[in-house]
């Protein structure tokens, strides 16, 4: 019976994708000004929607107003709306970081929307979801750039007016260079689309499809070798996930001093931030991680434990299988995740409590990534054992990818059904324990037969003060811990934090020394220290004695 159920799921996964429904047209014209990191710039957007019919008072348009780390909402200027009956008067409200416009009368037919977005890097820290200028380029996600209806699907075309940016400027999006036609996409997907324009550096110099990387500023390393490596990995992963052809994929590099090495995945794209301490080698795992999302992300309904957990699990595994990193590098990747998870003082936080604290507490934010990865490693061992080595976690993930491609609804229950068919109630019990905050501890061989589990003393990540000091527009240091490394370095309560790279990537790097830049009594000061505290027992993995390299693969 179990084999019949697995076959049924596999057959569903292999089913052809559902035909795209008819959808109204959306024409977007994007007109950037000249861009300068010091002087700023503006982007004018004109959007023409066909087939609109919105009742009086109903939500007409939404646009991202802000995001955690942004000191003030993104300004919107000169908003105007018209339809078949002429100009439309709209009212604006701000609903938890999102602008919403509504009209007192019915809006119907062809709707034309015009507005202008100022960009000013001097407004403060800019997370990768904000409009941002690097060199003479700008980049932004659809959520912060496009005013869109709250729901529906559109056949969008993108057009660029780059006259003000000068000769050689190019507009780019998740759909390609220059003017582009997108497939029919729901509004939720359009908000996750990447956009940018200006005079970019790029690798490869003349992309012909597939992978392409762009940057407008000056990273603290030469990105070209890293981007060539990432392009090879993308092609290999496309084969691993059984694409008929390699899909397009964009990488945009931009400055982010508050969380260097962090980033965000968009539709067929990824934006990564660089800053103090960022290296090409240090970014390899994040590119393996984010490109995994291209295939395995199954929407927010299923949960970050799935989307982020399997991406961390595969971020080192797939480059290793592809021959792009060594066994020792793969092992280091496992141990970096393990050290952050097993030393995390909040590791028992239930999954239901993660999202309410996600953007303000780095200890909690990394749990879906780290605990999720260890969860998939535990399941990998159980699947291999139950099948006598004939199957592994890849089979379950590929089944999920197939279900998603076929248009199947992707929820936590979807995964539980696949898990139950494979492992019965034992697999479901592991899942319930993970969701409740239980410790996920893979066996020695769950990462491969040439590795074994061990225990080491590792110092916990500890900024030396209340981590919530880093949240909000005014970052004032409080809760300084007497005797901490921050205290020893000279930081004091009341210091206004200008920059301190204490984000997720630093939490995972046990040897990373950081520079905290503050203002005290009107004077700029810089303090250098290792943000580590007490040493605790943590699980790690090592090469099993006498295990040949052939056994590892």
Number of Cβ within a 10 Å radius of residue 325: 23
pTM of structure: 0.76
Residue 68: band (very low, low, confident or very high) from pLDDT cuts 50, 70, 90: low
Q: pLDDT class for 465, splitting at 50, 70, 90? A: very high
Residue 9 has pLDDT above 60, yes or no: no
pLDDT in tens, 190-210: 999 999 999 999 999 876 668
β-sheet with 269-274: strand ranges across: 201-203, 211-215, 249-255, 269-274, 263-266
Distances (CA, A) of 470 to 70, 316, 370, 389, 467: 12, 30, 22, 47, 6
Which helix (H) or strand (E) segment is 309 a member of? helix 304-321
Ramachandran sector of residue 96 (left: φ over 0; alpha: ψ -120 to 50; beta: rest): left
Q: What is the pLDDT of residue 298?
A: 81
Look at residue 240 and tell me whether its pLDDT is greater than 90. yes
Mean pLDDT of the chain: 90
Q: Bridge partners of 451?
A: 543
Over residues 382-411, the pLDDT tens digits come to 999 999 999 999 999 999 999 988 888 899
pLDDT of residue 208: 64
Structure tokens at 169: 């400027």
Task: Say whether 299-455+538-552 and 24-198 share the same fold.
Answer: no
The residue that leads in pLDDT, 132 or 286, is 132
- Beta carbons within 10 angstroms of residue 219's beta carbon: 22
CATH 1.10.3210 fits 299-455+538-552, yes or no: no
pLDDT of residue 2 exceeding 80: no
User: pLDDT of 348-357, one tens digit each?
Assistant: 999 999 999 9
Task: Give which of 345, 327, 346 is closest to 335, Cα–Cα.
Answer: 327
Q: Check residue 33 and give its pLDDT.
A: 98
**Contact of 210 with 248, CB cutoff 8 Å:** yes
CA nearest to 137, candidates 166, 100, 174, 113 = 166
Domain ranges of the chain: 24-198, 299-455+538-552, 463-530
Q: Which two tokens stand for residue 233?
A: 């990995």
Strands (E), 433-474: 451-461
CATH number corresponding to 24-198: 2.60.40.3650
Percent of the chain with pLDDT over 90: 71
Strand partners for 452:
542
CA-to-CA dists, residue 533 to 98, 481, 507, 529, angstroms: 38, 10, 12, 12
Lowest mean pLDDT across 137-141, 274-278, 374-378: 274-278
Parallel, antiparallel or unpaired: strands 170-173 and 194-198 = antiparallel
Q: What is the DSSP string of 170-209?
A: EEEETTEESSEEEEEEEHHHHTTBEEEEES-EEESSS--S
- Stretch 488-493: mean pLDDT: 97
Residue 5's SS3 state is helix
Q: Phi and psi (nearest 5°) for 295?
A: -105, -35
Say whether domain 463-530 belongs to CATH 2.30.42.10: yes
Q: What's the rounded mean pLDDT across residues 435-453? A: 94
Tens digits of residue pLDDT in 83-116: 999 999 999 998 778 999 999 999 999 999 999 9
**For residues 77, 81, 87 and 91, what is the CA-based torsion angle, rounded to 10 degrees?**
-70
How far is residue 133's CA from residue 156's CA, in Å, rounded to a whole number? 25
How does strand 86-88 pair with strand 153-160?
Answer: unpaired
Exposed / middle / buried, residue 138 (Cβ in 10 Å: 0-12, 13-18, 19+): buried
């Amino acid at each position: 019976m179990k084999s019949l159920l697995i076959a049924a799921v596999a057959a569903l996964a292999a089913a052809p994708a559902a035909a795209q429904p008819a959808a109204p047209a959306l024409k977007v014209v994007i007109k950037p000004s000249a861009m300068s990191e010091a002087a700023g710039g503006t982007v004018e957007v004109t959007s023409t929607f066909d087939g609109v019919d919105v009742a009086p008072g109903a939500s007409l348009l939404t646009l991202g107003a802000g995001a955690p780390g942004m000191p003030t909402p993104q300004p919107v200027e000169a908003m105007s709306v018209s339809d078949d009956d002429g100009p439309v008067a709209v009212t604006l409200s701000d609903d938890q970081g999102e602008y919403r416009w509504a009209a007192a009368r019915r809006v119907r037919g062809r709707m034309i929307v015009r507005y202008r977005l100022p960009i000013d890097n001097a407004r403060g820290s800019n997370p990768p979801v904000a409009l941002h200028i690097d060199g003479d380029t700008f980049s932004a996600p659809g959520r912060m750039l496009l005013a869109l209806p709250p729901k529906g699907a559109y056949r969008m075309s993108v057009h660029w007016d780059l006259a003000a940016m000068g000769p050689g400027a190019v507009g780019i999006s998740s759909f390609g260079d220059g003017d582009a036609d997108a497939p029919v996409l729901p509004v939720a997907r359009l908000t996750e689309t990447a956009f940018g324009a200006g005079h970019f550096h790029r690798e490869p110099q003349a992309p012909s499809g597939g992978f392409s990387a762009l940057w407008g500023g000056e990273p603290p390393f030469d990105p070209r070798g890293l981007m060539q490596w990432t392009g090879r990995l993308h092609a290999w992963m496309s084969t691993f996930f059984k694409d008929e052809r390699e899909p397009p994929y964009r990488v945009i590099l931009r400055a982010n001093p508050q969380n260097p090495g962090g980033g965000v995945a968009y539709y067929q794209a990824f934006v990564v931030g660089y800053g103090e301490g960022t290296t090409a080698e240090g970014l390899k795992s994040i590119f393996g991680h984010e490109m995994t999302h291209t295939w395995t992300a199954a929407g927010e309904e299923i949960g970050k434990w799935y989307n982020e957990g399997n991406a961390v699990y595969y971020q080192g595994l797939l480059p290793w299988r592809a021959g792009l990193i060594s066994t020792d590098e793969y092992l280091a990747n496992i141990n970096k995740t393990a050290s952050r998870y097993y030393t995390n003082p909040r590791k028992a936080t239930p999954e239901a409590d993660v999202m309410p604290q996600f953007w303000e507490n780095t200890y909690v934010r990394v749990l879906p990534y780290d605990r999720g990865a260890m969860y998939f490693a535990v399941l990998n061992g159980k699947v291999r054992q139950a099948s006598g080595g004939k199957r592994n976690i890849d089979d379950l993930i590929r089944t999920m990818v197939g279900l998603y491609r076929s248009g199947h609804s992707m929820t936590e229950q979807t995964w539980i059904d696949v898990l139950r068919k494979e492992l019965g109630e034992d697999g479901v019990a592991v899942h319930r324990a993970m969701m409740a905050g239980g410790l996920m501890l893979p066996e020695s061989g769950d990462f491969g037969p040439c590795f074994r589990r061990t225990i080491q003393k590792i110092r916990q990540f500890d900024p030396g003060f209340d981590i919530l000091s880093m949240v909000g527009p005014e970052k004032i240091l409080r809760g300084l811990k007497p005797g901490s490394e921050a205290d020893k370095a000279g930081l004091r309560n009341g210091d206004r934090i200008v920059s301190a790279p204490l984000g997720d990537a630093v939490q995972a790097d046990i040897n990373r020394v950081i520079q905290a830049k503050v203002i005290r009594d009107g004077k700029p000061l810089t303090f250098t220290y290792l943000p580590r505290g007490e040493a605790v027992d943590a699980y790690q993995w090592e090469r099993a004695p006498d295990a040949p390299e052939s056994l590892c693969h």
